[in-house]
């Protein structure tokens, strides 16, 4: 990282999300109030520690950054290597996707009698942009790294511990396959050590 590391941004984001889920369990206000919080977070690219930015040559990485103990939300860093993409999949819970670095393409899908078909225009997300998914708004999409030669990173917030949610991948012929995504990482960033900044502020 070439700029000073600012873990306080993630810490403040987690505090604000915790206040938000303490206030309401309804999707509409969660998305309405969560969206500007995530937009603020991804406006800067100086707070994500390096282990959570590393691509794998094998598949896109899903690094958990934080899970609410009551599983009301989770925050995940998705890291796309060049050319990587998800299968067509759903979420079953609300989600907010904020672009941090690079660019990704999200393609919405809808079910037809013949299988899954494009359900609207695909979106190109650039750094600072935020989009929402949910069973209410449209829950099925395929996401790809828009860049053939660079890593892209997006920060996802879900209305559950997404690593534990039973959801589905869809094949083009309409076949549905259950999956639980899990996480790529065994350890989470410790953004809670304020001994240096607290001392510095004294």
Report the C-alpha dihedral over residues 51, 47, 73, 25, rounded to 10 degrees: -170
Residue number, 114 or 193, with CB nearest to a second copy: 193
Report the C-alpha dihedral over residues 41, 45, 51, 53, rounded to 10 degrees: 100
Query: What is the distance between the alpha carbons of residues 60 and 148, in angstroms, rounded to a whole number?
Result: 14
Nearest approach, Cβ of residue 51 and a second copy (Å): 7
Residue number, 19 or 124, with CB nearest to a second copy: 19
Print the binding letters for residues 122-161 with a second copy: x by CB under 8 A, - otherwise.
---------------------------------------x
- Cβ distance 55 to 134 under 8 Å? no
Specify which residues 77 forms β-bridges with. 63, 155
Query: What is the distance between the alpha carbons of residues 5 and 44, in angstroms, rounded to a whole number?
Result: 11
Counting Cα atoms < 13 Å in the Cβ hemisphere of 35 gives 11
- By CB under 5 A, the residues from 7 to 36 that bind Mg ion are 22
Q: Select from 114, 149, 173, 193 the one that contacts a second copy (CB under 8 A).
A: 193
Nearest approach, Cβ of residue 29 and Mg ion (Å): 15
Nearest approach, Cβ of residue 23 and Mg ion (Å): 8
Query: What is the distance between the alpha carbons of residues 29 and 108, in angstroms, rounded to a whole number?
Result: 23
- By CB under 8 A, the residues from 15 to 74 that bind a second copy are 15, 17-19, 22, 49, 51, 64, 66-71, 74
Q: Which stretch binds a second copy (CB under 8 A): 99-107, 108-116, 145-153, 184-192?
A: 184-192
CA angle at 73 for the pair 67 and 76, rounded to the nearest 5°: 60
Residue number, 22 or 112, with CB nearest to Mg ion: 22
Nearest approach, Cβ of residue 52 and Mg ion (Å): 30
Binding footprint of Mg ion on the chain (CB under 5 A): 22
């Amino acid at each position: 990282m070439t700029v000073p590391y600012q873990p306080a941004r993630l810490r403040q984001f987690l505090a604000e999300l915790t206040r938000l889920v303490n206030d309401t369990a309804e999707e509409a206000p969660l998305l309405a109030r969560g969206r500007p919080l995530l937009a603020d977070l991804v406006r800067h690219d100086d707070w994500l520690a390096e282990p959570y930015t590393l691509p794998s040559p094998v598949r896109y990485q899903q690094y958990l950054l934080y899970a609410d103990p009551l599983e009301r939300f989770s925050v995940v860093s998705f890291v796309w290597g060049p050319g990587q993409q998800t299968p067509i999949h759903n979420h079953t819970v609300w989600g907010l996707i904020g672009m941090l670095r690079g660019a990704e393409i999200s393609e919405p899908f809808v079910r037809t009698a013949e299988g899954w078909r494009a359900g609207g225009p695909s979106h190109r997300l650039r750094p600072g942009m935020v989009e929402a998914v949910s069973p209410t708004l449209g829950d099925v999409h395929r996401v790809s790294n828009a860049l053939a030669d660079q890593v892209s990173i997006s920060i996802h917030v879900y209305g559950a511990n997404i690593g534990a949610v039973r959801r589905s991948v869809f094949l083009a012929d309409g076949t549905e396959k259950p999956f639980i995504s899990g996480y790529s990482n065994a350890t989470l960033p410790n953004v809670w050590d304020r001994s240096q900044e607290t001392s510095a502020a004294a």
